DNA sequence: TTGAAAGCGCTAACAA
DNA sequence: TTGTTAGCGCTTTCAA
């Protein structure tokens, strides 16, 4: 017979014949409670099917045991995989994940964060290192620990878990140059409010400069990170009178879309146009031709972000993070000239 | 100068020169407050940078304005897209999304739900109609409204938002039979604890029966819903002495994996083996050959689940749901015999 | 190790 | 329309 309304800790204490305080301690700090008492509380909990009230607990303890994450979007596979790892790891550590997105509209992030703060969380996970002042102020004001993910930054002011987009882009551009390409286009993603995109452009440009090459501004194509963005990029570079021999894409999604557009326009990859990606999603090894890309530690970012953020909440000693490794994956979509 | 600690409603009331009650009402039910009072409260809120405490609000009002969703996994694109829509719609309706997964281990779902109930949410979104008794009991005991998504079921006992997997599978199998295939294999997904998979098998079998065909048990391959599962399915059906002429896949992910395996084994699609998918993810139109598949209302499921669940929370009148439409998408991967 | 009691910050019923 | 006040269910001193 379940009681008509949700049992409270007081019900548990009464049934167990102990005080409210002891019942609370039995659940939260069992080490401070005699085995006998513990056992009686345990039995009462079981008998009543008691479940703590998170709201009351949160109000009294000022801890919610939940972490919020704000992503640009949830439906990019790179984020979906990482979010999955984040959620699993948080779960193992005893935390829940509250999730939100701003659809690549950085200006909305403040509102989203405000709603989340109102809801109550112990810490937040953000993507990238560029956020509005409002975001950082809110975090400071409410003493919310946060970790910046995906892009690693040296600055000691914030914890970050990720890799250097600059370095990754530099490596790819160097590889492309070493294959003899001189006319190089970049499908970079949309730079506004996105530090990763800007780092990618800068890294690409730097590597080309070392090779004595130039990244022409008309060949930097800003497109969303999806298949269609890749298609558009191909259309764009084909519309000029001069044509590049390679298109470096900021995500594999763009690259796959670009390959598809080439196929429908009868352009051979890599013979007529080489295409490279970034991320090394599973699909990269499945398309024809297989994608030359950069492997990034998608799952590991989720796992480490979870651990880091929990460590911050719990006031643990924080090891200094190092930038994570990326790795060129050379496959057929990049040809030699 | 931000105050040293988070301002409370009492601080707001004091600054505005009104009572705590009025301040609360100004925020929650502004219609019951005089414009002048409202304005003073509004200014005090702004001046203090006040943000409500969700925990206190939840404790006093017994509402968290949070909805939980439990998915098998977050990194299947079909779920990622739907979750994104769910989150967006909930956000528009003023609710936050707490998200969890059980990695296709239905037996873990009870534990996950327990933790969520403890955390406190106003309602839950579940995938499929098959759940452990524990799940339904928990929902009942804590009077948690829930909606079952993806698979539509007639039963009036629960609200569901989705389509008929049986019908969808039936249509696909009918199409396949009408193309002259008689030796038909099915990569179904893993049936244990998954009503959608079982409905798919039943629907396929029923359609074939009408066509005078049989679905051989050795050609029902249970594999996870990912690329590798599709690859394995191809290996499996090639290992028998008798070979099917078509492989119907339960997800496009399987189908794409299957196509890839065929390519690496030198099997032509659809000449040597036809392959069909389910879901009509964006990728389905990008692979070679393009996938014959079933379009399912991925985004719409997320949107309607959000609306339904909020309606239930807010005690609104619930319209009867109808099964959602699916649609065959015929492309090149299915050949005629 | 335990019990008593004072909040945590808000909502909602009631009275004015 | 507003103010007053009693909780919501827990944690956490403090004393015993």
Does some domain include residue B146? yes
Residue B92: how many other CB atoms lie within 10 Å: 12
Does some domain include residue A263? yes
Chain B partners within 8 Å of A306 (Cβ):
none
Does some domain include residue A337? no
Q: Is the CB of B6 under 7 A from strand C?
A: yes
Contact B124, B113 (CB under 8 A): yes
Predicted confidence (pLDDT) at residue B169 exceeds the cutoff of 70: yes
Chain A partners within 8 Å of B97 (Cβ):
98-100
Q: Is the CB of A57 under 7 A from strand D?
A: yes
Interval B202-230 mean pLDDT: 97
Sign of CA dihedral B12, B13, B17, B23: positive
Domains: count for chain A: 3
Task: Round and report the angstrom distance from CA (B3) to C1' (C15).
Answer: 35
Q: Is the CB of A120 under 7 A from strand D?
A: no
Interval A158-180 mean pLDDT: 97
Contact B263, B247 (CB under 8 A): no
Do residues B85 and B193 both lie within one domain?
Answer: no
Instruction: Specify the range with the lowest mean pLDDT, choosing from A59-68, A171-180, A290-299, A313-322.
Output: A313-322
B288 at interface of A, judged by CB pairs closer than 8 A: yes
Q: Give the pLDDT band (50/70/90) at residue B153.
A: confident
Q: Give the pLDDT band (50/70/90) at residue B3.
A: very low
Do residues A270 and A152 both lie within one domain?
Answer: no
User: Using the beta-carbon criterion (under 8 Å), do B114 and A49 form an inter-chain contact?
Assistant: no
Predicted confidence (pLDDT) at residue B84 exceeds the cutoff of 70: yes
Do residues B196 and B303 both lie within one domain?
Answer: no
Q: Give the pLDDT band (50/70/90) at residue B317.
A: confident
What digits encode the pLDDT tens for the residues A285-295?
A: 999 999 999 99
Question: In 3D, which of A278, A135, A107 has the Cα closest to residue A194?
Answer: A107
pLDDT value at position B318? 84
User: Using the beta-carbon criterion (under 8 Å), do A74 and B51 form an inter-chain contact?
Assistant: no
Q: Which of residues 70-89 of A touch B (CB under 8 A)?
A: 73-77, 79-81, 83-84, 87-88
Tell me which nucleotides of strand D come within 7 A of a protein CB: 1-5, 7-13
Residue of B nearest to A226 (CA): B282
Does some domain include residue A281? yes
Predicted confidence (pLDDT) at residue B18 exceeds the cutoff of 80: yes
Share of chain A above pLDDT 70, in %: 99
Nearest nucleotide (C1') to alpha carbon of B35: D1
Q: For chain A, what is the HEC assignment?
A: CCCCCCCCHHHHHHHHCCCHHHHHHHHHCHHHCCHHHHHHHHHHHHHHCCCCCHHHHHHHHCCCCEEEEEECCCCCHHHHHHHHHHHHHHHHCCCEEEEEECCCCHHHHHHHHHHHHHHCCCEEEEECCCCCHHHHHHHHHCCCCEEEEEECCCCCCCEEEEECHHHHHHHHHHHHHHCCCCCEEEECCCCCCCHHHHHHHHHHHHHHHHCCCCCCHHHEECCCCCHHHHHHHHHHHHHCCCCCCEEEECCHHHHHHHHHHHHHHCCCCCCCCEEECCECCHHHHCCCCCCEEEECCHHHHHHHHHHHHHHHHCCCCCCCCCCCCCEEECCCCCCCC
What digits encode the pLDDT tens for the residues B170-204?
A: 999 999 999 999 999 999 999 999 999 999 999 99
Predicted confidence (pLDDT) at residue B224 exceeds the cutoff of 90: yes
- The pTM (predicted TM-score) of the whole model is 0.94
CATH of the domain at B279: 3.40.50.2300
Q: Give the pLDDT band (50/70/90) at residue A176.
A: very high
pLDDT value at position A253? 97
CATH of the domain at B44: 1.10.260.40
Where in the sequence is the domain holding B16, given as residue range(s)? 9-52
Do residues B100 and B36 both lie within one domain?
Answer: no
pLDDT value at position A39? 94
pLDDT value at position A99? 96
Q: Is the CB of B21 under 7 A from strand D?
A: yes
pLDDT value at position A100? 96
What is chain A's mean pLDDT, rounded?
A: 95
User: Using the beta-carbon criterion (under 8 Å), do A98 and B66 form an inter-chain contact?
Assistant: yes
Predicted confidence (pLDDT) at residue A1 exceeds the cutoff of 60: no
Task: Round and report the angstrom distance from CA (B61) to C1' (C12).
Answer: 8
Do residues A188 and A310 both lie within one domain?
Answer: no
Does some domain include residue B117? yes
Tell me which nucleotides of strand C come within 7 A of a protein CB: 1-13
Do residues B158 and B194 both lie within one domain?
Answer: no
Distance, CA of B96 to CA of A112 (rounded, Å): 10
Do residues A318 and A250 both lie within one domain?
Answer: no
Do residues B71 and B189 both lie within one domain?
Answer: no
pLDDT value at position A3? 41
Q: Which of B8, B78, B286, B290 is the mutation pick for testing A, counting most A CBs within 10 A?
A: B286
pLDDT value at position B74? 94
Do residues A228 and A276 both lie within one domain?
Answer: yes
Distance, CA of A23 to CA of B157 (rounded, Å): 37
Do residues A148 and A32 both lie within one domain?
Answer: no
Do residues A108 and A76 both lie within one domain?
Answer: yes
Do residues A155 and A248 both lie within one domain?
Answer: no
Question: In 3D, which of A68, A205, A206, A199 has the Cα closest to residue A145?
Answer: A68
Does some domain include residue A125? yes
What is chain B's mean pLDDT, rounded?
A: 95
Does some domain include residue B74? yes
Distance, CA of A179 to CA of A67 (rounded, Å): 45
Does some domain include residue B1? no
B264 at interface of A, judged by CB pairs closer than 8 A: no
pLDDT value at position A2? 38
What digits encode the pLDDT tens for the residues B113-123?
A: 999 999 999 99
Chain B partners within 8 Å of A97 (Cβ):
98-100
What digits encode the pLDDT tens for the residues A192-250?
A: 999 999 999 999 999 999 999 999 999 999 999 999 999 999 999 999 889 999 999 99
A6 at interface of B, judged by CB pairs closer than 8 A: yes
pLDDT value at position B269? 97
pLDDT value at position A303? 98
Q: Is the CB of A32 under 7 A from strand C?
A: yes
What digits encode the pLDDT tens for the residues A70-95?
A: 999 998 999 999 999 999 999 999 99
Of A81, A117, A260, the CB nearest to B75: A81
Chain B partners within 8 Å of A75 (Cβ):
77, 80-81, 83-84
Q: Is the CB of B126 under 7 A from strand D?
A: no
């Amino acid at each position: 017979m379940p009681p008509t309304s949700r049992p409270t800790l007081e019900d548990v204490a009464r049934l167990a014949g102990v005080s409210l305080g002891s019942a609370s301690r039995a659940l939260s700090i069992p080490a401070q409670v005699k085995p006998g008492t513990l056992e009686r509380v345990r039995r009462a909990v079981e008998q009543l099917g008691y479940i703590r009230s998170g709201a009351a607990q949160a109000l009294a303890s000022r801890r919610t045991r939940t972490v919020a994450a704000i992503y640009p979007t949830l439906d990019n596979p790179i984020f979906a995989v990482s979010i999955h790892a984040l959620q699993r790891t948080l779960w193992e550590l005893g935390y829940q994940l509250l999730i939100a997105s701003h659809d690549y509209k950085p200006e909305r992030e403040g509102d989203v964060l405000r709603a989340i703060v109102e809801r109550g969380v112990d810490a937040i996970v953000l993507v990238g290192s560029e956020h509005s002042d409002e975001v950082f102020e809110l975090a400071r004001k409410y003493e919310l620990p946060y970790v910046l993910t995906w892009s690693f930054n040296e600055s000691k002011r914030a914890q970050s878990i990720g890799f250097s987009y600059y370095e990754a882009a530099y490596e790819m551009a160097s590889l492309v140059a070493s294959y003899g390409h001189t006319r190089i286009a970049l499908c970079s993603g949309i730079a506004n409010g996105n530090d990763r995109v800007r780092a990618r452009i800068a890294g690409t440009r730097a590597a080309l400069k070392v090779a004595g090459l130039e990244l022409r501004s008309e060949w930097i194509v800003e497109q969303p990170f999806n298949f269609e963005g890749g298609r558009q990029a191909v259309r764009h570079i084909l519309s000029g009178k001069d044509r590049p021999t390679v298109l470096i894409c900021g995500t594999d999604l763009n690259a796959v879309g670009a390959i598809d557009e080439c196929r429908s326009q009868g352009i051979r990859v890599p013979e007529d146009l080489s295409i490279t990606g970034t991320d090394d999603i599973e699909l990269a090894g499945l398309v024809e031709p297989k994608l030359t890309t950069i492997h990034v530690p998608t799952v590991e970012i989720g796992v480490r972000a979870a651990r880091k953020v929990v460590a911050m909440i719990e006031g643990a000693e924080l090891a200094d993070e190092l930038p994570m490794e990326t790795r060129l994956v050379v496959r057929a979509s990049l040809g030699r000239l």
